[in-house]
Every structure is written in C-alpha cells, then in structure tokens.
Amino acid sequence: MNKLRGVTLVELMISSIIIVMVLIVGANSWVYGMKLSVAQYKTSIAAQICRSDIERAKVVGFANLPLGTIQSGNGSAIYNGSVEYYDKNGVALGNSTGASLTLQRKVVDSPITVANGSYTLSNLSTRTITTTVKDANNNTVILVMGTELAKGGM
C-alpha cells in the first residue's frame, strides 16, 4: 500500500513538471504568435503607405519631382524627402508623437547635365524613387519599395 502511494506522488510530480513546461512553452509561443501578428499588421500597413507614396510620386511625375543635391563627379543627384509619420493604422500624423511607422522617400537622378551649380534632366535620365518604411519605435526597416521614372514614360 505504501508503495502504491509513492507512485501517486511521482505521478503528481511528473504532472506538475509537464504542466509547468507546457505553460512555459505555451507562454513563449503566445508571445511569439503575438509578435507575428503585430509584424503581419505592420507589414500590411507599411506596404499600403509605401505603395501610396510611390503612386503619389508618379502622379507628380518625372518633370515635377523636386531636384536633389548633385553628387561628387556630377553623375547623379540625390533628393531625400522629409520623414513622414504614421500611426498604427496608417493614418498620417503631423509629427512623431504617437507614431508607429515612419516613411521617407529618396529620389536618385542619373545621368544629369550640370551647369551653374544646378542640373537638368534629359530623355536619357531616369529618376529612381525608393520609399522606406521603418518601425518608429526601434528604427528598423520594415519595407522598401522602389520604381523608376523616365521622360515620357509611365
């Protein structure tokens, strides 16, 4: 009879260990799952605002996008747009307060014709637009999208 009681104690101990292990693994998995969900949501919103920004740039068009700073060698010029802020739902904000995502557009023009400290574009030029969306909390890149414009192009 004493021997049988000992088995029950061992059984309880094993059960407790299993429960604890399951709880630990489950909790970690839950956290991981939540992170995946958050990442999924952020990726989805980032893709939307990224695409939206590039479409806006395309509407402005090859001829009207702002000119950039001429790089050494005069072969190209780079324009870095201002940082824009968005909340977790992709709504644009006026400043960084409450921001969940940041967006910045970059335009690289090449080749360019430099004269008198300024430059012009020709029908040989391309204007490469890249838009980067970052996590506002840790500044890590979530998504980068890019396209190219040509004179008379689409």
Q: Is 115 in the site for other proteins (CB under 8 A)?
A: no
Considering the rule CB under 8 A, would residue 8 count as an interface residue with other proteins?
yes
Number of residues that bind other proteins (CB under 8 A): 63
CB of 24 to other proteins, least distance (A): 12
Distance, in Å, from the CA atom of 101 to the CA atom of 87, rounded to the nearest integer, reads 6
Q: Partners of 70 in the beta sheet?
A: 77
Instruction: Give the three-class secondary structure for 41.
Output: helix
108 binds other proteins, rule: CB under 8 A: yes
Q: Any contact of residue 88 with other proteins (CB under 8 A)?
A: no
Q: How many angstroms separate the Cα of 45 from the Cα of each of 1, 49, 62?
A: 65, 6, 27
Q: Does 123 bind other proteins (CB under 8 A)?
A: yes
Q: Which of 49, 50, 99, 103 binds other proteins (CB under 8 A)?
A: 50
26 binds other proteins (CB under 8 A): yes
Question: Closest approach of Cβ 68 to other proteins, in Å?
Answer: 10
| Cβ-based neighbours of 39, under 8 Å, separated by 6 or more | none
The reply on whether position 147 binds other proteins by CB under 8 A is: yes
Q: Could you please report the per-residue DSSP string of 3-29?
A: HHHHHHHHHHHHHHHHHHHHHHHHHHH
CA dihedral sign of residues 114, 118, 124, 130: positive
When asked if residue 64 is in the footprint of other proteins (CB under 8 A), the reply is yes
φ/ψ bin of 124: left (φ > 0), alpha (ψ from -120 to 50), beta (otherwise): alpha
Site residues, other proteins (CB under 8 A): 1, 4, 7-8, 11-12, 14-15, 18-19, 22, 25-26, 29-30, 32-34, 36-37, 39-41, 43-44, 46-47, 50-51, 54-55, 58-67, 106, 108, 118, 122-126, 128, 130, 143-154
